[in-house]
Amino acid sequence: MDLNPYAAPLDTTAPPPLPVSNEAEVIRREHIKHEASVKGIGSLYFIGSIFILIGGVTMVFAGLKGGNMGTAELAMMVLFPALGLLGLWVGYGIRKLSPAARVVAGILTGINLVLSIFGLPQSIIAILINTYILNLLFSKKGTMVFSAPYKEIIAQTPHVKYKTSIVVWIVLGIFVLVVVVGILAAVFSTRW
């Protein structure tokens, strides 16, 4: 075989792509929407935990500054930061599809669901949201998404991506805008 001196050089540094079985791609495409929804729940845990952690740290500083604390205040000063850190771990774990984080998220969501039931009729939306989260985590597709074989499927199909619709981006933008306006209103209302 003659070498062509005018041919483009071959790139031998890139590893060859993993062979993709048609079955792996079919399974990934069947579960990609559910996977994205589960990871979205992980993001919500993460965001909520940041707010809980900020509130907990604020309580600690306020308690240390105030001095005279009772048992309930001391318990809250420990509980809130601990829940915030636990929530950060759960959010990260769910984003990485960790089975351990799935179990802890199920327990926390179950507790929240029970507490929401005691708050009827005002907490119907919270009941629906918690039920939906439990369904995402423990349904047949949720069990598959958190399984070890599915992680292998993800490794074999990195080209399969979930495309978020423009409607979701618009709703998310409106939600972020409402939250920012609410925070700014709260900050500026205390100064007036």
CA-to-CA separations, 141 to 13, 27, 28, 36, 64, in angstroms, rounded: 38, 10, 11, 12, 47
Q: Is 134 inside any structural domain?
A: yes
Residue 18: which pLDDT band, with cuts at 50, 70 and 90?
A: low
pLDDT of residue 120: 76
* Nearest-angstrom CA–CA distance, 154 and 161: 10
Quote the domain boundaries for residue 157.
22-161
Kindly state the helix (H) or strand (E) to which residue 185 belongs, with its residue range. helix 166-191
Tell whether 173 and 97 lie within a shared domain: no
Q: Is 72 inside any structural domain?
A: yes
pLDDT of residue 8: 74
Average of per-residue pLDDT across 144-172: 90
Tell whether 42 and 124 lie within a shared domain: yes
Residue 16: which pLDDT band, with cuts at 50, 70 and 90?
A: low
188 pLDDT more than 70 = yes
In contact, 43 and 93? CB cutoff 8 Å: no
Sign of CA dihedral 128, 130, 131, 137: positive
Number of domains in the chain: 2
Tell whether 48 and 112 lie within a shared domain: yes
Q: Is 108 inside any structural domain?
A: yes
Q: Is 30 inside any structural domain?
A: yes
State the angle between helix axes of 99-118 and 71-95 in degrees (0 to 180), rounded to the nearest 10: 130
118 pLDDT more than 60 = yes
Kindly state the helix (H) or strand (E) to which residue 79 belongs, with its residue range. helix 71-95
pTM higher than the cut 0.85: no
